[in-house]
Structure 1
Amino acid sequence: MIVPFLFFVPPAMRATPEPASPCASFRAFAASVQKGQTESIEFHTSWLADFKDGNPKAIGAFTRCFDRGYAPGHAVCSYLSKNGAVEFAGDNARQALACLLPGTRFGQHDLALEALDVSFYFGTPQRGSNMTIRFESDQKMGGMVLTIIADGY
């Protein structure tokens, strides 16, 4: 006799749906910042060695993300923590820039970003956010850090 098993998964236990596109959380973050408000996230990555305050014997891919309690920033952190690159962490900066500055192209060849510091506006000239994307070595924590800053106007 075969007995089928049926079970109910309460909504709170279901997986959170992924954003509609890889760019959705980046764009929602940039669009959410109000005039006179500044919000930022930091996505830290470390490949092969843990962060300086971590386990010195640990080997692997390590991430930390700081959203400063801002819900749209939390969505970016959640996306990056689940889908972000660690070994080739520059890919995260490249993706953020391409999402927030439509039309950005990096060519047909592989591009390995070692550092990036770029500013541009997101939205319209009348309303939006002045964006800064920085990707650099993190001397304090170790590894690399991607910082995305939105300054609403």
Structure 2
Amino acid sequence: MKKIDLAEAFVAIGLSTAALSCQATTKPLKDQMCAPLRAFVASVKADETRKLEFHTSWGQNFKDSTDYAFLAKRCIHDSYAPAKAVCDHLMEYGAIEFSGNNATRAIACLSPGTHFGWPFQLDRVEVSFPYGSEQRGSNVTIQFDKDSELGGMVLKITADGY
């Protein structure tokens, strides 16, 4: 059995870690929510408004339920297929405890020049911006706040087509 010098081991571990860090920073992960979210916003026709709501509750169930739950989530898409695709992703992968992360992800997806540092915790936000071209697109509003009706938090994404 070959003896490994402790100093050599630390150097090897350090170089491996540095290589992984460089690789991670040069090739950011692609957020899988972006494609369905962009498709939802782009699908909204001129003079049409579509929205979705992602509700989350950490530590208890929603106010309209008598069942015990430590966490709860639901997504309202009004049977609009492109909004349902976003809801499907959020129901599978959306944050519940730190649900503000869902809002920062949505903002970053639709405004690619926008980046949030880590750690970044969002308690509430409302932003509006255009998505698309000057001739065709949607005015998008992203709201994240406490939900006084259901309890917990709610992320609302509204697209007004133009």
1:64 aligns with 2:74: yes
Q: Give the corresponding residue for 2:64.
A: 53
Runs of 4+ residues over 4 Å off in structure 1: none
CA distance in 2, matches of 1:61, 1:28: 29
- State the partner residue of 2:141: 132
- Amino acid aligned to 2:72: F
Q: 2:53 aligns with which of 27, 42, 55?
A: 42
Q: Which of 20, 34, 42 does residue 31 from structure 1 map onto?
A: 42
1:1-150 to 2 correspondences below 5 Å: 21-55=32-66, 58-107=68-117, 109-150=118-159
- 1:136 is paired with a residue whose SS is strand
Greater helix share, 1 or 2? 2
Please identify the structure whose Cα radius of gyration is greater. 2
Asked if 1 retains the 8 angstrom alpha-carbon contact of 2:53 and 2:76, the reply is yes
Q: Secondary structure at the match of 1:139?
A: coil
Give RMSD over aligned pairs. Answer: 1.2
Aligned length: 132
* C-alpha contact (below 8 Å) 2:52/2:77 kept by paired residues: yes
2:33–2:86 contact (8 Å) kept in structure 1? no
Correspondence for 2:25: none
Aligned partner of 2:145: which letter?
A: E
1:48-104 deviations in whole A, cap 9, x for unaligned?
100001126x13221010001111000011010000000000000000000011110
TM-score by length of 1: 0.83
Letter in 1 for 2:34: C
Structure 2 residue runs of 5 or longer lacking an equivalent are 1-30
Q: TM-score, normalised by structure 2?
A: 0.79
* 1:146 counterpart letter in structure 2: L
Identity %, equivalent residues? 51
Q: Which runs of 5+ in 1 are unaligned?
A: 1-19
Contact 2:125 2:145 in 1 (8 A): yes
SS for the counterpart of 2:101 is: helix
Tell me the SS of whatever aligns to 1:24. helix
Distance in 1 separating the partners of 2:38 and 2:131: 8
What CA distance in whole angstroms lies between the structure 2 residues aligned with 1:50 and 1:145? 14
Q: Distance in 1 between matches of 2:33 and 2:153?
A: 21
